[in-house]
Structure 1
């Protein structure tokens, strides 16, 4: 299915690369000019991969984005000999970031947990950007019951016989339910695009055990754990209809940072990167004082 942002993306050079990181090899893509004044390393969310953030990249053609697939997702294999907990993902990001020393760090959703923890633990960056940040424990949100069901779902997928567990985790019906739940737009064309993106990329995980570990990590941590130790200027781009972190919790979260600002986007939920990339990019442009 053609992306609504295809024309914009076609004007941006894209190249694939690989780099060693945390004992494994990370596949990553660069978007934009190699000689750009601004470079951003973008960390995607749970079950996603680098394609998900392309609509945001498309709005900022003069920025160089470095978009890796996280370990165990997309074209990046799991980290060898590691449980995929928060420490593993933080170690990975700190090591991977050597491909662009001094780059700005951006994290979306689960990526916001990884990015904020890495910066809090010493990853050097001039600024931090968090899109749809996970600003409260998953079990405390309005979808707490759904989170408990998801915990059982990923546990069952990891512990059932391999054929059944893999079928369950890659079920197109369940992926579609997740997609419908998160999408808030009433634009039928945009909804079809979102569902197609999830159908195409949401099941590109390496194996059941790694996926379970990553999910447990995503619901066991949030950005609040790291906020007070992040001293660099930070931008939070949050959705007013986010079911995972209510906007009231995002307003509390921003006050936990020594230096942060919050931009709220109306009429969107946890899919800012698909539904409202233009205002998200505008917030990033203003935060970074880009032309």
Structure 2
């Protein structure tokens, strides 16, 4: 069962913010990926709501109707501060499960690091933030050394794959095209921010805190390869890892699987069975 999301606006730091909210139960705050918006993921989020989860999905600054960050605050730290301000403006009283896909995962990581009082659990879905792009024999190739053309090549290959083209591309185009037309500079700068992100120090500190963290990964991802996931796992000291079939956009191609995976991560299904018995 899926339940429609209500789309709303509020002011965060005096600037307009668009977000979606629906459901009741444990709260999951979902942060979208690069070039997209909160609405891109609506099918999976609606199915998650139908499984007994309260979903809050903001459009990050510069995307989906939310005002861009000021130039002085344009960094992962700035995005994390914005997420914290959003949650406080929303009236969040208890730590939430913060989930992020791709660039949103990096923002979620930095938010959990900088604002620990707001985050009770972290879910990283094919997320940026790992230090390794690939391995050549025993030697790691750092993410910061990955050529820009390689990102473009794999993004293009991902976009024109049959599964992505028929199921994902119409959904992505509905948000990515307006974002590109309205904020091309922001799109480019956020892309560079995502490519160069290395959160090794933050990951090390999160490991020491013992924050519950789950990594969810589509194993066929070539946009952010499995080597990046491995570097996240090592840096975090062996958190729970869930692998699923699919590429970087598996959660858009298979919203039912996304809802099932996140529900299992939250333990909602188990709690419901306990209550029923």
TM-score (structure 2 length as normaliser): 0.79
In the other structure, the counterpart of 1:131 is 125
Normalized per residue, which structure has more helix?
A: 2
Deviation at 1:146, TM superposition (A): 8.1
In the other structure, the counterpart of 1:260 is 239
- Equivalent position to 1:201, from 175, 178, 191: 175
What is the rounded CA distance, in whole Å, between the counterparts of 1:86 and 1:131 in structure 2?
17
| Higher mean C-alpha deviation, range 213-222 or range 251-260 | 251-260
Report whether the alignment pairs 1:72 with 2:27.
Answer: no
Aligned to 2:236, what secondary structure does the other structure show? coil
Deviation at 1:150, TM superposition (A): 7.6
Change over 3 Å in CA distance of 1:81–1:224 after alignment to 2: closer
For residues 32-181 of structure 1, what are the structure 2 equivalents within 5 Å? 33=23, 36-60=24-48, 61=50, 62-80=52-70, 82-98=72-88, 99=90, 100-101=92-93, 102-123=95-116, 124-137=118-131, 147-149=147-149, 181=157
Q: Which runs of 5+ in 2 are unaligned?
A: 136-140, 270-277
Deviation at 1:70, TM superposition (A): 0.9
Change over 3 Å in CA distance of 1:201–1:91 after alignment to 2: same
What is the rounded CA distance, in whole Å, between the counterparts of 1:55 and 1:13 in structure 2?
9
What is the rounded CA distance, in whole Å, between the counterparts of 1:79 and 1:72 in structure 2?
7
Change over 3 Å in CA distance of 1:145–1:90 after alignment to 2: closer
Deviation at 1:180, TM superposition (A): 5.2
- Equivalent position to 1:213, from 189, 212, 228: 189
Structure 1 stretches of at least 4 aligned residues deviating more than 6 Å after TM superposition: 141-146
Change over 3 Å in CA distance of 1:199–1:186 after alignment to 2: closer
Change over 3 Å in CA distance of 1:276–1:146 after alignment to 2: farther
Deviation at 1:125, TM superposition (A): 1.4
- Equivalent position to 1:250, from 200, 204, 229: 229
In the other structure, the counterpart of 1:285 is 263
Deviations 1:78-116 (A, max 9, x none): 134545222221111111122133221111100000110
Normalized per residue, which structure has more strand?
A: 2
1:132–1:272 Cα contact (<8 Å) kept:
no
What is the rounded CA distance, in whole Å, between the counterparts of 1:89 and 1:17 in structure 2?
20
Deviation at 1:22, TM superposition (A): 3.5
Count of paired positions: 252
| Higher mean C-alpha deviation, range 221-230 or range 128-137 | 221-230
TM-score (structure 1 length as normaliser): 0.75
Q: Which runs of 5+ in 1 are unaligned?
A: 1-7, 154-176
Deviation at 1:225, TM superposition (A): 4.4
Deviations 1:1-44 (A, max 9, x none): xxxxxxx5xx413212222224422111113x2xx121111100
Aligned to 1:226, what secondary structure does the other structure show? helix
Report whether the alignment pairs 1:236 with 2:215.
Answer: yes
